[in-house]
Structure 1
Amino acid sequence: MTIDSDEPIHEDRLWSDGHWTARVIKNEDDDGWAVAMHLDGGSEPALVGPWTMGRDKKNPKPLDTNAFNTLVKTAREVIRRSEQQLHAQLNKNVNVTVGDKRLRIALAIVPDDEGATATLSALDEFDEELARVSVPPTFKLSIDSAQAWVASGFERPR
């Protein structure tokens, strides 16, 4: 869903600043209303939530500047949290101590439609990379697997 114009739109059920668009829609699950927030260029809404009924208890409350600004802030937060969750799923690290050295072992997975790839790396206390190897994206990073990798002299895990 995109609006072709960069001109602001301020209608009762459609509000756009050229970057974000709020559209009040009939809630298919009940007799109420919902609002869908779309980021320009996005095919799916970034946020869908319930919308307040108007005074007649049949029609939705009209959109206004304050409501739109609140919806934009909420939609941005939803996107930010989603990005943080994805980053956490794809990037893991553990700390291990070997002798008197503390190492950070990091696993970074790069998703791809053709097939994900993953890299395992060892960094010293100054974030200097000591080793890097490719691993299957299914590799499970744990303290035990990190210590075993360090003990092997950073050989590619099997």
Structure 2
Amino acid sequence: MDTDDLTESTAIREDRLWHDNGWMARVIKNEDDDGWAVAMFKDGEAEPALVGPWTMGRDKKNPKPLDQTAFNTLIKTASEVLQRHAQQAHAALHKQLTVFVNDQQWDIKLDITPDEDAPFATLSAINDEGSLVAQVRVRPDFKLTSATASAWIQNDFPAPETRED
């Protein structure tokens, strides 16, 4: 069966292949040793969200068959992995810190826009009243630190110099 054609409404419950609720679990031969592994795919994704070891069956040669409890646990674990990846990606593109300059608290944000042709970032300053005071475009590799944020504020929020590579 071509698993690319599976839809969310297609439920499969075989010993080595389960598909339901937008997920597919496939038990595969572990390439690293004599054991087995299970790969979890979210519908529509070409790469597995999770690959992990799978238990041997009673004969110590074949894999243990998939069952509902194992499938549910695998869905939960794979979903958590995807959620952590999304959080890490978000954190890499959106940075924030708080500095105290001129007896005032400032929240400084750096939001990176990862464009394939022309990536850039936006540096923003929010005062302690919650008002956006300044916003400038910066290079996507701008290093946001307490020192760079404080200097930016003390120099009245100039647009950082950009260099052409």
The TM-score range, normalised by the shorter chain, is over 0.9
Structure 2 counterpart of 1:100, from 83, 97, 103? 103
Q: TM-score, normalised by structure 1?
A: 0.95
Q: Judge which range, 89-98 or 45-54, deviates more.
A: 89-98
Residues 1:155 and 2:152 aligned together:
no
- 2:6 is matched with 4
**What is the alpha-carbon distance in structure 2 between the residues aligned to residue 19 and residue 32 of structure 1?**
27
3 and 11 in structure 1: CA distance in 2 versus 1, 3 angstrom threshold: farther
The one-character-per-residue Cα deviations of 1:89-111 (angstroms, maximum 9, x if unpaired) are 12111211122210011111121
Work out the number of aligned pairs and report it: 158
Task: Report deviation, 1:118.
Answer: 0.5
**What is the alpha-carbon distance in structure 2 between the residues aligned to residue 115 and residue 9 of structure 1?**
44
Task: Report deviation, 1:151.
Answer: 1.3
- 1:57 is matched with 60
Residues 1:120 and 2:145 aligned together:
no
146 and 45 in structure 1: CA distance in 2 versus 1, 3 angstrom threshold: same
Match for 1:4: what amino acid?
Answer: L
Q: TM-score, normalised by structure 2?
A: 0.91
Match for 1:117: what amino acid?
Answer: F
Task: Report deviation, 1:113.
Answer: 2.1
Structure 2 counterpart of 1:46, from 46, 49, 56? 49
Task: Report deviation, 1:85.
Answer: 1.1
Q: Percentage identity across aligned positions? A: 56
Q: Superposition RMSD on alpha carbons, in Å? A: 1.3
**What is the alpha-carbon distance in structure 2 between the residues aligned to residue 12 and residue 115 of structure 1?**
48
Structure 1 counterpart of 2:139, from 136, 139, 145? 136
| Structure 1: 5+ residue stretches without partners | none
**What is the alpha-carbon distance in structure 1 between the residues aligned to residue 78 and residue 33 of structure 2?**
23
Residues 1:25 and 2:28 aligned together:
yes
| Structure 2: 5+ residue stretches without partners | none
**What is the alpha-carbon distance in structure 2 between the residues aligned to residue 135 and residue 57 of structure 1?**
59
